[in-house]
Amino acid sequence: MEGALIGHPLLKKYKEVKDMDKSLELIFKNVAGKNSKFTIQDPKEDLTAQEVEDLMNNIIEKNVFGTSGGDLVEIVGARIVQKEVIDLIG
């Protein structure tokens, strides 16, 4: 019965957006070959790909973060994630 309420007409009237959370995810590969992800909340609006790449290279060069799989050695990717928050009650 999971998902039975999806699309129910009663729920449609409560779709009032209260907030949009935004974060920047930085994804690296470590010495063990595993991906490691770091999240920065509320990144600046006019962030460029070059700024993010420079930051990530700096993190690798200065060995800022350690992981269970060893040092970070390679940039895998970066992305902005937006999450919509909708209050149903309260």
58 falls within a domain = yes
42 falls within a domain = yes
Cβ atoms within 10 A of the Cβ of 62, count?
8
Query: Tens digit of pLDDT for each residue in 74-89?
Result: 999 999 999 887 788 8
Query: Tens digit of pLDDT for each residue in 10-58?
Result: 555 444 545 578 999 999 999 999 999 999 999 998 999 999 999 999 9
What total of structural domains would you count in the chain? 1
16 falls within a domain = yes
What is the rounded CA–CA span in Å between residue 39 and residue 72? 15
Which phi and psi (to 5°) does residue 27 adopt? -115, 125
Q: How many CA atoms lie within 13 A of 68 on its CB side?
A: 3
71 falls within a domain = yes
What is the rounded CA–CA span in Å between residue 20 and residue 1? 30
Domain with 30, as residue range(s), is 11-82
38: tokens are 């770091």
The secondary structure of residue 31, as a DSSP letter, is T
- Specify the pTM: 0.73
